[in-house]
């Protein structure tokens, strides 16, 4: 019994540590402080601090004394280099992203599902002098925020969507007043009707949520083991039907031309 209890405790510690890493990754753009990590993981401050300190000692996280914030550390990058080829989606999709960015002038993104989040795994910028770059490679967003993330969420069944929204209820408040369950549900309905996610505004930490001036179009690109979506972001206050249809044709052409991933 004692051995089994030790195993359970060890597994719980691993899960808690990984939860901490995910929260820090969500706030990677500006860094996460101790209070935020404790609140979002529902750990007491002393436990959160011990986990953060241990993860920094192992180089999975990094600490900036000036800002007193934590970011993802170098070990995460080093481990990523060992990822098997079948998981290196950026390599497979990079040429298509480049063509989409060139044809549209926007910033093309590759997003994948990771539990209740979407993660940006690649980005290719277009040629326009002023570019919309609402996300960075490695940035995590709760599913439903951003056009690609919305396309992924809309592809799931209603029961799973409700589970995801319930799980992300607290973290959504980090993304501004327009990042609500109501707005996400409305976006899901529209994405299912249109066949793609469409957003006006962006979510992040250096800009106000829902700022007019950036639009996004996102399409589910692969329903394999990992759900993959492709999107573009453009500087615009909104797209006309003609503009939207043109962009939809470009993106669908590239997605449909992409070879189906073969299982390893």
**Residue 10 CB neighbours (<10 A):** 10
User: What pLDDT, on a 0 to 100 scale, did the predictor assign at position 181?
Assistant: 92
Task: Judge whether residue 4 has pLDDT over 70.
Answer: no
45-54, 68-77, 92-101, 125-134: range with lowest mean pLDDT:
125-134
- Write the CB contacts of 166 (distance below 8 Å, at least 6 apart in sequence): none
The CATH number of 2-78 is 1.10.10.10
DSSP strands (E only) in 115-200: 117-124, 140-142, 197-200
User: What pLDDT, on a 0 to 100 scale, did the predictor assign at position 1?
Assistant: 42
The CATH number of 85-257 is 3.30.450.40
Task: Please name the helix (run of DSSP H) or strand (run of DSSP E) that holds residue 75, with its range, or none.
Answer: helix 74-80
- Percent of the chain beyond pLDDT 90? 44
Beta bridge partners of 227: 223
Kindly state the tokens that stand for 91: 């390599």
Predicted structure pTM score: 0.74
pLDDT band at 157 (very low <50, low <70, confident <90, very high): very high
- Percent of the chain beyond pLDDT 70? 86
Asked if 106 and 132 count as a contact pair (C-beta separation under 8 A), the reply is: yes
Domain boundaries, the chain: 2-78, 85-257
Beta bridge partners of 141: 118
Kindly state the tokens that stand for 90: 């950026």
């Amino acid at each position: 019994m004692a051995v089994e209890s030790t195993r359970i405790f060890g597994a719980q510690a691993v899960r808690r540590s990984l939860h901490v890493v995910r929260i820090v990754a969500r706030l990677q753009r500006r860094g996460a402080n101790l209070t935020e990590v404790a609140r979002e993981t529902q750990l007491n401050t002393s436990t959160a601090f011990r986990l953060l300190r241990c993860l920094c000692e192992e180089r999975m996280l990094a600490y900036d004394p000036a800002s007193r914030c934590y970011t993802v550390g170098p070990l995460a990058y080093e481990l990523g280099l060992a990822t098997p080829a079948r998981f290196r989606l950026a390599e497979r999709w990079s040429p298509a992203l480049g063509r989409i960015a060139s044809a549209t002038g926007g910033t093309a993104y590759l997003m994948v599902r990771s539990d209740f989040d979407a993660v940006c795994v690649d980005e290719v910028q277009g040629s326009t002098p002023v570019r919309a770059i609402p996300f960075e490679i490695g940035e995590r967003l709760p599913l439903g925020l951003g056009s690609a993330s919305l396309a992924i969420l809309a592809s799931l069944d209603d029961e799973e969507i409700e589970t995801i929204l319930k799980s992300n209820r607290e973290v959504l408040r980090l993304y501004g007043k327009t990042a609500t369950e109501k707005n996400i549900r409305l976006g899901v309905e529209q994405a299912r009707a249109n066949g793609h996610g469409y957003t006006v505004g962006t979510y992040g930490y250096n800009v106000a949520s829902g700022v007019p001036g950036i639009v996004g179009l996102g399409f589910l690109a692969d329903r394999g083991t990992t759900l993959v979506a492709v999107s573009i972001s453009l500087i615009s206050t909104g797209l006309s039907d003609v503009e939207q249809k043109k962009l939809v044709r470009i993106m669908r052409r590239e997605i449909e031309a992409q070879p189906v991933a073969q299982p390893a």
